């Protein structure tokens, strides 16, 4: 076997580790963006809670 065949058969573990680190970094960045105060998740959650509390208040006004 010559040197070119040996290099092709060796798995490139360093590259896959770098790809996993990059993927984890991207996921952490997305979580920070979505879960920060005033972020998308926070706004949607607050709207949902507000809508449910408005429905409860409306039901209470009808009953009393």
Percent of the chain with pLDDT over 90: 53
Map out the domains of the chain as residue ranges: 36-64
* pTM, entire model: 0.52
pLDDT score of 5 more than 80: no
Q: Which residues contact 38 (CB under 8 A, 6 or more apart)?
A: none
Nearest residue to 30 (alpha-carbon basis) of 41, 21, 20: 41
* Residue with more model confidence, 1 or 28: 28
């Amino acid at each position: 076997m010559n040197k070119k065949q040996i290099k092709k058969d060796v798995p490139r573990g360093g590259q896959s580790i770098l790809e996993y680190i990059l993927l984890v970094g991207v996921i952490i960045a997305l979580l920070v963006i979505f879960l920060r105060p005033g972020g998308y998740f926070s706004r949607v959650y607050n709207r949902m809670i507000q809508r449910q509390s408005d429905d409860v208040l409306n039901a209470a006004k009808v009953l009393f």
